[in-house]
Amino acid sequence: MPKKKKINRSKKNYNEQSLTDEIIGLFSSHANKSYNYKQIARQLLIRDSDTKKMIPAILDRLVEKEELEEVYRGKYQIRRREGYVIGTVQMNPNGSALVASEDFPQEIFINEHNLNHALNGDIVKVYCYAMRRKAFIEGEVVEIMKRSRDTFVGTLQVSQNFAFLLADLKILPYDLFIPLKSLKGAVDGDKVTARITDWPKNVKNPVGEVVKVLGKKGENETEMHAILAEFGLPYTFPDDVVDAAKALPEEIPEEEIKKRRDFRAITTFTIDPADAKDFDDALSVRKLDNGNVEVGVHIADVTHYVKPDSTLDFEAYDRGTSVYLVDRVVPMLPEQLSNKVCSLRPDEEKLCFSAVFEIDGDANVKTEWFGKTVILSDRRFSYEEAQQVIDTGEGDFSDEILLLHDLATILRAERFKNGSIGFEKTEVKFRLDKKGKPLGVYFKEMGPANHLIEEFMLLANKRVAEFIGNPKAGGDQEERKKGKKKGKTFVYRIHDKPQAEKLETFARFVTKFGYNLKTGSSKAISTSLNRLLEQVKGKNEQDLIETLAVRSMAKAVYSTKNIGHYGLHFDFYSHFTSPIRRYPDMMVHRLLEHYLDNGTSKNADKYEPMCEHSSKREQLAVDAERSSIKYKQVEFMSDKIGQVFRGVISGVTEWGLYVEIIENKCEGLLHIRNLEDDFYELDEENYRLTGKYHQKTFQLGDTIHIEITRANLEKRQLDFALRD
């Protein structure tokens, strides 16, 4: 009789999470068996007493979480789970998928053959099997509740009798069959959008039709439009929206000016990127007789022109945000509004919604005022021009800029002292020719001029949120004087604290570079994280650690349910300062105006779905921007095949190493099959690949030399080979 095989596990050091994963894996692999803690230790080849002592506590927690059940005293078995769950499909590169559900604690694994035509992002009903696969349950899609998209972007391949759309594999892992009669004039090699028209149950490939021809593959205009279409982002405005914008008057009636606080005689200017056209914020500054300084944060009064439920409003809400690609801005509002009527251009009277602060020499806010204003900007500065004034002390409005710079410096220092975290990721920018071809790469970093604007925008956003949400906040508004101020429904920008597990993993990782991260209280974390971000500046591992630090954090979103902003360490925070390019800011303006007019609290149930929609649109815009950067990086490197560069390992996966080239931050894949000197295995816990026979390692953050072997524009992917 053959001997029973034990699970082949090498001796290793466990932490609580890794041991929990191993225990779940053991029970999942033997769903019909029960084990006590001694049997578990024996199966996992655990010999040291300290690790053994962790097992009973982990078992108790897994019972509480209904992962395991205690079948009789001291004996445990995997809890069988059967039933239906509704969740969202997340496709894997190999064709399988995971389904995540808010109502279910684990992700559900779906084999490719059990997807039943479900695609990435679809909301589906899943039947969960009793058996589990390691750390997740396995299931089968039984119903597609809602498709995430009805059109797909890809390249057309046309033969004599039929055509296929080759789309992004993650979005549509099958070729879309298109009859020749449904090509709408598209020809072989065109980039197009197409929709599925039929998908018989037992047929692998869906049938579809061309919706729109985007242009020839490889042309800049085509590829940028394809990226927007891929994420469901429009790149043109409907005619009725354009007409509605053109109908808006550029002249301001005198009766409207009389309703507002007049700042036209007070020094006012804008500071923006050199190529910006949508100036949605301006600063005014003047010294008061008592020695304090009055600073006005003036924001374009977009909602004066864009009325609720109007054609313009519906379009702005649907878009949610402006989209910033490498070579263009796709505005939330038509250019007649974003670049003309609402843009705070110099020497033009403009309507604003303002936050005005009286600030003393130590940057303490003594009084505040919120309301409608009219301004006249005296000067438009680029960040570079403002920075030159700060550096030299000379130039237009040098006294005012230097005064604001001094106040902003104090505000910034106080903010970090109180626990704000200093994330400042380097932005990759491209020098493009007239056809959009990248000629060079450069990096944009924040300087004191950027910080000047940032601090006063943060101040306005914070104080507006406090004014509405915090009944104890200071200020000089009449409502507070009467003691009637109460927290009301509002749109907040919230940022949750990081998950302890992610933070612990990140803290363990940075020790490999000789750094230390404390993970105690929120204040200790932020202080320690700021110190770490300062220490890595200029080091090879800077980008890597900054990226992993951001990944360890939660994502900021919009919500009526205020939990504060962890990254900024603000109890109340909102977005008030960019209504030209963000719909939530328009929501904030309308709510603030309503409450300033003594309106009662609005219904949160109406605004929460609007917040969720805005958060989703924001994420789509971010994804599109990243895709455009990735495309330009691959295009920039496409004529450098065969060249060798120094790079830093920026990602470690079971299929290979992602490497970021140091000199230009272009990232590519060194596939594991191209590491030919050994059989490499993923050590997920330590972010490294280790050779099975020679024990050579490739770890996250290591510097290596790579050769460019392929630049695939279609997949926006660079392929590398290892070089000595």
Q: What does the pLDDT look like over 662-677, one tens digit per residue?
A: 999 999 999 998 898 8
Which token pair is 22?
Answer: 């191993």
Please tell me the least confidently modeled range out of 336-350, 352-366, 414-428, 465-479: 465-479
Q: Which CATH architecture has domain 83-146?
A: Beta Barrel (2.40)
Q: Is the full-model pTM beyond 0.75? A: yes
Confidence of residue 511 (pLDDT cuts 50, 70, 90): confident
Res. 649: pLDDT tops 70: yes
Q: Are 37 and 74 in contact (CB under 8 A)?
A: yes
Q: What is the pLDDT of residues 134-173, one digit of tens each?
A: 455 788 999 999 998 888 999 999 998 889 998 876 788 8
Other Cβ atoms closer than 10 A to 496: 15
Res. 484: pLDDT tops 50: no
Edge-to-edge order in the sheet of strand 680-683: 680-683, 688-691, 697-699
Res. 1: pLDDT tops 60: no
What pLDDT sits at residue 539?
80
Confidence of residue 10 (pLDDT cuts 50, 70, 90): very low
Res. 280: pLDDT tops 70: yes
Res. 481: pLDDT tops 50: no
Which residue has 């498709």 as its token pair? 147
Residue 454 to residue 460: CA distance in whole angstroms:
10
Which token pair is 289?
Answer: 């007789």
Which CATH code fits 638-723? Answer: 2.40.50.140
Half-sphere exposure of 280 (CA within 13 A, CB side): 22
Give start and end residues of each alpha helix (H) in 263-334.
Answer: 302-305, 311-319
- H or E stretch covering 282: strand 281-287
What pLDDT sits at residue 510?
86
- Looking at the domain covering 151-217, what would its CATH class be? mainly beta
Please tell me the least confidently modeled range out of 207-221, 428-442, 463-477: 463-477
Amino acid at 87: G
More confident position, 272 or 485: 272
Q: Are 113 and 128 in contact (CB under 8 A)?
A: no
Residues 6+ apart with CB under 8 A from 157: 163, 164, 165, 166, 188, 189
Q: What is the mean pLDDT of residues 398-426?
A: 92
- Output 15-20 pairs: Cβ under 8 A, ≥24 positions apart: 16/54, 16/58, 17/501, 17/504, 17/505, 18/685, 19/51, 19/54, 19/55, 19/58, 20/58, 20/61, 20/62
Residue 154, CA distances (Å) to 115, 176, 212, 463 in order: 22, 9, 11, 47
Res. 247: pLDDT tops 70: yes
Q: Are 549 and 532 in contact (CB under 8 A)?
A: yes
CATH topology of domain 16-78: Arc Repressor Mutant, subunit A (1.10.10)
- CATH 2.40.50.140 boundaries in the chain: 83-146, 638-723
- CATH 1.10.10 boundaries in the chain: 16-78
Res. 437: pLDDT tops 80: yes
Residue 246 to residue 333: CA distance in whole angstroms:
12
Residues 6+ apart with CB under 8 A from 425: 543, 546, 547, 550
Q: What is the mean pLDDT of residues 416-443?
A: 88
More confident position, 692 or 544: 692
Please tell me the least confidently modeled range out of 47-56, 411-420, 520-529, 600-609: 520-529
Amino acid at 172: L
DSSP string of 596-611, one letter each residue: HTTPPPPPHHHHHHHH
Confidence of residue 525 (pLDDT cuts 50, 70, 90): confident
Residue 235 to residue 331: CA distance in whole angstroms:
9
Residue 394 to residue 390: CA distance in whole angstroms:
8
Collapsed DSSP state (helix, strand, coil) of residue 178: strand
- CATH 2.40.50.700 boundaries in the chain: 151-217
Among candidates 87, 680, 631, which has minimal Cα distance to 325?
631
Amino acid at 461: N
What pLDDT sits at residue 333?
97
Half-sphere exposure of 135 (CA within 13 A, CB side): 8
Confidence of residue 5 (pLDDT cuts 50, 70, 90): very low
What pLDDT sits at residue 635?
95
What pLDDT sits at residue 476?
44
Per-residue DSSP letter, 35:
B
Res. 485: pLDDT tops 70: no
What is the three-state SS of 40-101?
Answer: HHHHCCCCCHHHHHHHHHHHHHHHHCCCEEEEECCEEEECCCCEEEEEEEEECCCCCEEEEC
